Structure 1
Amino acid sequence: QVLFDGIPDPLILLTPDLKISWANKGAIKTAGKSLDLLLQRPCADLHEECNLPCDVEMVRTCLETGEPAHSLVGTPDERSWGLRAFPIHDTGGQVIQVMVLAHDVTEKIRLQAQTMRTGQLAALGELAAGVAHEINNPINGIINYAQILINKAAKQGETNEIAERILKEGDRIATIVGNLLSFSRDKKEEPRPVALQDIIQEALTLCEARLKKDGISLKVDIPKDFPCLLGRHQQLEQVFINLINNARYALNAKYRGTHPDKRLTISARVGPTDDQATLIVEDLGTGIPQHLLNRILNPFFSTKPQNEGTGLGLSICHGIIQEHGGTLDFESEENAYTRVIITLPRVKDN
């Protein structure tokens, strides 16, 4: 008993009818109930009632085969558990009980998600480098030819509106390619003063055209003299790109066409403390059901239909904001709105 109680992970003993006959201190602590309230209770009931991890199918397999079994399960408190079941035999070789050992693997799964995202960014970086090479050369030629036409018209005291438009759009393409390269490179830069306006502008360079195409009204309410944030430009840009895309999806899901309420707002204010800034991204889209709000930051969890979301975006954003010493919170009402509230360190003296 002393040996098993020294194991911090939950350890329970189950009868063939899947009821608890014994539990160590780790299981008692996880369940938040005394031992007498756990004994002779079905493990499936306690799984739902007090987050004591249990997998009925795994235990049944162990009982039927007489061989150890393992599985991965989630509990209602949004933790992930790796379970291992070990059969206990009588002298005749019959399985009379099953011992289940549970280990919290929530953090391990989160780190695996971050590793996967790093691999995706590396692949995107290679693709972006190829795209930049193929696009930059011809676009530079187009820009140069447009400038020649503008200069020629200027010498004659005229303006060439078409050439000016070509030059403007060419510059925009070059900027998009540059931002794509910056976004895809996972640079290990030290936190430094960064202008929020620049971060939002570069994020919108990649997203604004799609917002306009979908009929989404965008309002950016950030004072010109807003203090600099203390952070990593590329990572914060990644956060805003993800939040803008999520808002766009929610608005399109609610409003198929144009609508006065099909709008997205990005705002900022100083506080809640002297060395912090609060950033808000709000949309009037589909919102998030209340019972799912505490799950949206979990790796691989998505409210989008299958094959439309990886469930990694908000998890990665949460990790980035935490690394910056900030917080990421959500306020939402289903079919009404979603408000994402970010707090980040700011530079006191600009």
Structure 2
Amino acid sequence: MKVLVTGAAGFIGANLVQMLLKTQPEVEIVGIDNMNTYYDPAIKEYRLGLIDKEKSKHSNCFWKFVKGDISDDQMIANLFDDFCPEIVVNLAAQAGVRYSITNPKAYLESNLVGFFNILEACRHSYDNGKEGVKHLVYASSSSVYGCNAKVPYSTDDKVDNPVSFYAATKKSNELMAHSYSKLYNIPSTGLRFFTVYGPAGRPDMAYFDFTNKLLVGGKIKIFNYGNCRRDFTYIDDVVKGLIRVMFCAPKRKIGNDGLSVPPYKVYNIGNSRPVNLLDFVDTLQQMLVKVGVLPINYDFEAHKELVAMQPGDVTETYADIVPLERDFDFKPSTPLHVGLYAFAHWYKEFYMK
């Protein structure tokens, strides 16, 4: 199976590539990433190193990394022509709700123009009678639910009121994919990820940022005075679910009107057990002490600050994963303390050798 992974040096992308090398004999993977400086590129280089290390154990597998940007349409077209991927997993995107408030243009280039280029390349993969792309899987986000008052969040819910430009771009991705699935019969599946965390994650995420600040004696800000809940989902669970989805594309069908029914799906991937932020912080500090990142007598109360809600944020995220369980017999299961322990252990090894 030939798989193209965009955002391959990113948190989810790099873990996906490693898992594919481990579990899929003779898989061929090309990864692309622009290696931008939104956060420390050293972590991206570290992830690529882990992929190379895993590849060295599997001589029958193929792995190639391309440094490039999906907003470069010609580069993407050439890559599809040369590699002819059967499965495309688009994880490349400008991430972060808060950053989208001050730097929206970055999201336009990567999340909209870049995704359009991927869709166009998938469309033209069928030119001249070629079999082309069998399945396009792409990253959406729980952010599309905005201030939805109904919980748990269902993919049947109306999501037309984004509270950040980042969320707007992710909802736009779903609409763009639907139109291309309808017009060009491209099997596509969008995955709404819920607060993915774990070792070598994104430094802009709360658990990572809190750890950085606590280590230097800074204060951590807990928004909405701690009255928020998040559906934290461990990286290994996300990747396992993603792989199950990858190899099960929506079926192509013809409707009563003689036209194709869009082979299109959207699923939530979340732990489906929301955690209060104060409880989350308490578990994080326990794990940081347990592995020795912070001393046992650390005064956590002196380093917490309860503050008001911030723009673009929501009070709760909570995934309805019944369709995921039904269609793929899969449910994320990693407890929060297990995932945060793995992160704390990695943090100590990476930053405190």
TM-score after normalising by structure 1: 0.23
Structure number, greater radius of gyration: 1
Q: Name the one with the larger strand percent.
A: 1
Point out which structure has higher relative CO (alpha carbons under 8 A, 6+ apart).
Answer: 2
